[in-house]
Amino acid sequence: MSEEMMPPKEAMEKLLTSMGQLGASDLHLKVGFSPTYRVAGLLRKVGMPPFPNSEYIEAMLENYIPEKRRENFQAQGDLDFSAASPSGDRFRVNIFRSMGGVHAAIRRVQSTIPNFEGLRLPPVYADVISKSFEGLILISGVTGSGKSSTMAAMINHINTTRSMHIITIEDPIEYLFKPDKAIISQREIGIDVPNFPDALKYVVRQDPDCILIGELRDRETMLAAIQAAETGHLVLGSLHCSDAQQTFARILEFFPRSDHAFIRSSLSSSLKAIMCQRLLPGIDEGSLFPATEVLINNTVVKDKISREEDEDIPAIIAQSEGDGMRPFTTSLVELIESEKVHYDTAMEYAPNREALAAAVKGIKSSTQGMVGRLRK
């Protein structure tokens, strides 16, 4: 880019268009700094002068902020919304005030709705959604772990295979679905409805078969999701948690201790699966690969949920791979074996480093044994 400061709207269009060309996942705009991309998990500054003031950044964003929501930003100091560039790419935008200045974090959303193969997810993801017609499926992971893409792949799988009414409640809408066999109603927080609780208050009266809740972020939203799942709806939702055990803890944090027995009883009957993921940088520059943990709610898990024995969940997952469950350690070993990620990288992301080290050592020993026998 030119070292001279170009007009704000032109600069914004160029920065957004370049995201796709560079494979950038995020763009950061901050007063006093040059625009910065995140590529393969790493921040990289653009060859462009630092932004001189907040007015310049606000002018860059002027055409993208929904008119209805400008007052929200002025009153609250931050705002989430979706936007589209002239190139057709879509973006999830968060603008916020910091020390009197305006900053923005912009995430690029792929214009093509992904499938499970394209996301490099294991077959159990497709298997779970194919067999689920009611109940609660939770997608957990930290920020930037690909939860939205995974849920989009699930919704599009339903869209192309079943005659259903799907309602999505998102903040903001990222992927735009084109109805196929299903009818799809997408609602955006702040534009179509004020908030998640209001959106969910009457959702079951809108005759849905499947409900996607972009983020389960409070007690009202979580309770509505559980109740909808209990009444015969298929509900998909995301949580900011690193693993299955932490997901249970997070759900219970929404409720007072006196309600835990009721919530556990509801979860034991309505939960279908918890699917957790982490994105790891690959050996090839710019590549990312998911490590996954999958908990299927079978008879043993139902009993553990009811008895408040969540600490046993990691062991159950590790011992039940034949039943479709999947521990993070197995996923990381597969990534190492297939030479997709470095051993050190896998170790950095491993929830149990001792288990991963033992598993990799076991594989090496087994391989060496086979080589020894072949040499004889």
For 82, what's the count of Cα atoms within 13 Å in the CB-facing half-sphere? 21
Highest mean pLDDT among 29-33, 63-67, 210-214, 371-375: 210-214
The per-residue pLDDT for range 2-31, each reduced to its tens digit, is 456 789 999 999 999 899 888 898 999 999
Q: Is the pLDDT of residue 67 over 90?
A: no
How much is the pLDDT for 87?
Answer: 72
How much is the pLDDT for 368?
Answer: 44
The per-residue pLDDT for range 110-125, each reduced to its tens digit, is 778 999 999 999 999 9
Q: What angle do CA 200, 171, 132 make, to 5 degrees?
A: 60
Interatomic CA distance for residues 77 and 355, integer angstroms: 45
Interatomic CA distance for residues 249 and 257, integer angstroms: 12
Interatomic CA distance for residues 365 and 376, integer angstroms: 17
State the average pLDDT for the chain.
90
User: What are the chain's domains?
Assistant: 8-109 (3.30.450.90), 123-359 (3.40.50.300)
- Per-residue pLDDT averaged across 36-58, rounded? 90
Write the DSSP assignment of 105-170 as a string of letters. EEEEE-SSPP-TTTTT--HHHHHHHHH-SSEEEEEE--TTSSHHHHHHHHHHHHHHH---EEEEEE
How much is the pLDDT for 364?
Answer: 62
pTM > 0.85: yes or no: no
Lowest mean pLDDT among 63-67, 118-122, 228-232: 63-67
- Per-residue pLDDT averaged across 248-261, rounded? 97
Q: Is the pLDDT of residue 370 over 80?
A: no
Q: Is the pLDDT of residue 343 over 50?
A: yes
**pLDDT-above-90 percentage for the chain:** 71
- Per-residue pLDDT averaged across 304-322, rounded? 94
Q: Is the pLDDT of residue 166 over 90?
A: yes
- Per-residue pLDDT averaged across 233-257, rounded? 96
Q: Is the pLDDT of residue 352 over 80?
A: yes
How much is the pLDDT for 137?
Answer: 98
Q: Is the pLDDT of residue 226 over 50?
A: yes
How much is the pLDDT for 109?
Answer: 83
**pLDDT-above-70 percentage for the chain:** 95
